[in-house]
Structure 1
Amino acid sequence: MSHDAGGVRDALSALDSEYDAVVFDLDGTLVELLVDWDATATEAEAALAEQGVDAAGVDLWTMLDLADKHDVRPTIEDILSTRECDGAEVSERLPLADTVADLSVPVGVCSLNCERACRVALDVHDLDADVDAVVGRDSVATRKPHPEPLLATLRGLNATPESAVFVGDSPRDEESALAAEVDFLYVDAERSGN
């Protein structure tokens, strides 16, 4: 996926006057967390196995669902959040992050990463002062593509769904925006149709 984001930057400049708030996904949109997701999945699978939960061959998000079902979520959440925070400390700033300070409307972050990792990455890249609300995977009871994380971010910005735009990098982000009835823009201009 391209992280050129030039077309999206231009679109955000134009949208700045059209919307009352802009919400960004974090990983893959503003920064790239340096996390070995395969190693994380292997560690999480082993931790679930120790709890008697078979998670062989499933992705991390399914592992979280299994952990919830078997009431062992803290075990997996600890593994994920530790690796995400470590990855946030050494994350790479992506080009779209340069637009955040230039926006004249409130800015939020809505992420599948834990809130602490979001805040670490924002701090590392000097974006924390320009972001008014942060909602991570552990901030609310549900996670994207459920609309609640995005809606919670908008509440933190005192914005309504019809007055905001969500910028992300994945179909899950787009599904979340659609479910919350929020306009959506892909960070990759080609996917956005720009």
Structure 2
Amino acid sequence: MTYQAIMFDIDGTLTNSQPAYAKVMAQVLSEYDKPFSAADAQATFPMAAEQAMAHLGIAADDFDHFQARYEAVMADHYQDITLYPGIAPLLQQLPTDVKLGIVTSQRRNEMESGMAQYDFMDRLAVTISADDTPKRKPDPLPLLTALARVGVQPSDALFVGDSLSDEQTAAAAKVDFGLAVWGMDPNANHQQTAYRFKQPLDILTLF
């Protein structure tokens, strides 16, 4: 099938950000006198900030402070975040008439700061962050909002992500899901995938 739009998650899909995430969260959690294990990093990495806070026992009413500290510490670690091999050439080689976008649980400031270094951002037709809709993934609203903005029906779109939350988002939006095997949790049990892409350039085979 040829798609009119492809939407991408960021963390674990476009960028290998988990090592930086683990460092930043460990520092921020230490300010709360809370441990942050490798298991915590694996569990919370695909979550929106509110979900991660609940998982880690951080009060919901401390959201603004927690998020501000996370963003401040992360600002010193953007150099530790790298694109997965094949992402840049994939975005350069996809047909120009295909609408490309990002749907992420990152806040807009974090997304723009972390992604500003990449030339391909000019290629994107839409970006939806956690600040742009009242609900977060796995609710379908962020993905459906992105598709509405580019004028593409869910049946003509593909969502590429690495997590169960991404898979659930696509299913709820009735959008085909492409699993980014290169960034997925190897222990996750993905059941609703139209495609399992072993490497980014495999997506080109759809065209």
Equivalent position of 1:27 in the other structure: 11
Amino acid in the other structure paired with 1:179: A
Deviation at 1:62, TM superposition (A): 3.6
| 2:66 aligns with one of 76, 97, 104 | 76
Aligned mates of 2:110, 2:148 — CA distance in 1: 21
Task: For 1:78, give the aligned amino acid.
Answer: A
Moved more, 79-88 or 93-102: 79-88
Task: Say whether 1:97 aligns with 2:88.
Answer: yes
Aligned 8 A contact 1:166 1:182 in 2: yes
Letter in 2 for 1:80: Y
Pairing 1:165–2:149 present: no
Deviation digits for residues 112-153 of structure 1 (CA, Å, limit 9, x no counterpart): 222223223332121211112111223322221111121222
Question: Matched residues in 2 for 1:70 and 1:31: separation?
Answer: 28
- Please give the alpha-carbon distance, in whole angstroms, between the structure 1 residues aligned to 2:175 and 2:89: 23
2:28 aligned partner, one-letter code = E
Taking a change above 3 Å as real, the CA distance of residues 63 and 99 of structure 1, as seen in their structure-2 partners, is same
Deviation at 1:78, TM superposition (A): 1.2
Partner SS, residue 105 of structure 2: coil
TM norm structure 2: 0.68
1:136 and 2:120 correspond: no
RMSD: 3.1
Gaps of 5+ in 2: 185-189, 198-207
Change (3 A) 1:143 1:131: same
Taking the aligned partners of 1:152 and 1:88, their CA distance within structure 2 comes to: 28
Does the 8 Å CA contact 1:43/1:79 hold for their aligned counterparts?
A: yes
Matched letter for residue 70 of structure 2? L
Partner Cα separation in structure 2 for residue 133 and residue 89 of structure 1 = 24
> Structure 1 length normalisation: TM-score?
0.72
Q: What's the % identity of the aligned pairs?
A: 24
> In the comparison of the two structures, how many residue pairs are matched?
172
